[in-house]
Amino acid sequence: MKSSTGLTRTQFILLVGALTTLVPFTIDMYLPAFPILADVYQTNASSVQLSLTACLLGLAIGQLVAGALSDMHGRRKPLLVSLIAYIAASIACIFAPNIYVFVFLRFIQGFAASGGLVISRAIVRDVSHGPELTRLFALLMVIGNLVPLIAPSIGSGVLLVADWKGVFILLTLLGIFLLVLSASRLKESLSPEKRVPSNFKSTFGNFAGILKNRQFTGYALAQGFLIGGVFAYVSGTPFIYQNIYGASPQVFSLLFGMNGIALIIGSYSVGRFTHIWSEKRFLETALYAATIAGALLLTVVLMNGPLWAVVIPIFFFIMSIGVVGTSSFTLAMESQGHVAGSASALLGLLPFILGAATAPLVGIAGENTAVPMGLVIFSMCLIALLSYLLLAKNATSSISN
């Protein structure tokens, strides 16, 4: 691996893992400030959640652009440009004069952050395949899943000593750190002869060709719908835990962090035990488990159950995400080669598009009910399971190198 990246295996994992943390930090660190932002901008919960929706839309669209550009021009240059844009957007968020400008700037911030996610995954596919690809993706998922464990706690800690702007100051510093690290340490992983033609026709042709692969599409939809349910949880729980159940920002961060542990357990299990269970068996089992957890959650919120009864099914739902995220991404990317950037972009697109749609839905009935969140999560789990069963389970795909 050192010959193609200029780094040892450990250095490579740490660097690419650091790049994957940009998106979850961008999404999760400001969550404890949701009620504060509603007060600052004199608006309601749904409008604040719209800032999350805008960020997710930016992440979705940005991945398509960054993925395609990285297939055309290599990985390094588009990555550095995206990090520079991220720093500028993060600074601009600090000075947003109203909720509308803030929402727009969150879109730009998400658009820019997408480069770190999609290009880092493409780099991993450039340098590995087979069981090694699975292990690397599992490690990256563990690293990435540590962020939801600590980001809300960091955000709530900032709120103890500063206002909400302090969160975006930290995000700016993170962007600067990653830019310096990438510029100084990361070498190009996609050689010129493996790059695709630089024109719109070939770009859309790549996307169309990838989507014609039924197995790839099944994995992408299964992952996309399930993670779409995660964003209903991410958007809903700041208000549900704090407004309905009276949890403090610190208690909310603790509960949110518990689910970071669930993600790590799920991701680690796939990487550690694939010699016993195949990725496909892991995926199918986790999709059934998520659907059961979603059904239990919906039942609890319909009955106005206590906080602990809400937390438990969410924990197992999130653990299933760790399994599905690792296994489905590995299975889908294994069938791609020189178009890994575009394939990674498509895999990243659906979760954020669906997340952008589900995030504001959980607040549509007001801040004092958890039923919309439970309904959205269960629906997403069920559709994800059906997508896998109908498209991917018995399909075959060709391997592209």
* Residue 2 belongs to a domain: no
* Residue 319 belongs to a domain: yes
* Residue 256 belongs to a domain: yes
The count of residues in the chain is 401
* Residue 183 belongs to a domain: yes
Q: CATH number for the domain including 194?
A: 1.20.1250.20
The pLDDT averaged over each successive group of 10 residues in the chain (401 residues) is 60 84 89 86 83 87 84 86 96 93 95 90 77 74 71 84 91 95 83 68 70 82 87 81 81 80 82 74 92 95 90 93 83 66 73 74 69 90 92 60 41
3-class SS string, 272-319: HHCCCCCHHHHHHHHHHHHHHHHHHHHHHHHCCCCHHHHHHHHHHHHH
* Residue 124 belongs to a domain: yes
The pLDDT value recorded for residue 148 is: 66
Structural domain for 132, as ranges: 7-392
* Residue 1 belongs to a domain: no
* Residue 399 belongs to a domain: no
Residues 6 or more apart whose Cβ sits within 8 Å of residue 91: 168, 172
Indicate the Cα dihedral angle 219, 225, 227, 228, nearest 10°: 150
In the chain, the number of structural domains is: 1
pTM for the whole thing?
0.70
The pLDDT value recorded for residue 202 is: 65
* Residue 131 belongs to a domain: yes
| CA–CA dist 239, 5 (Å, integer) | 44
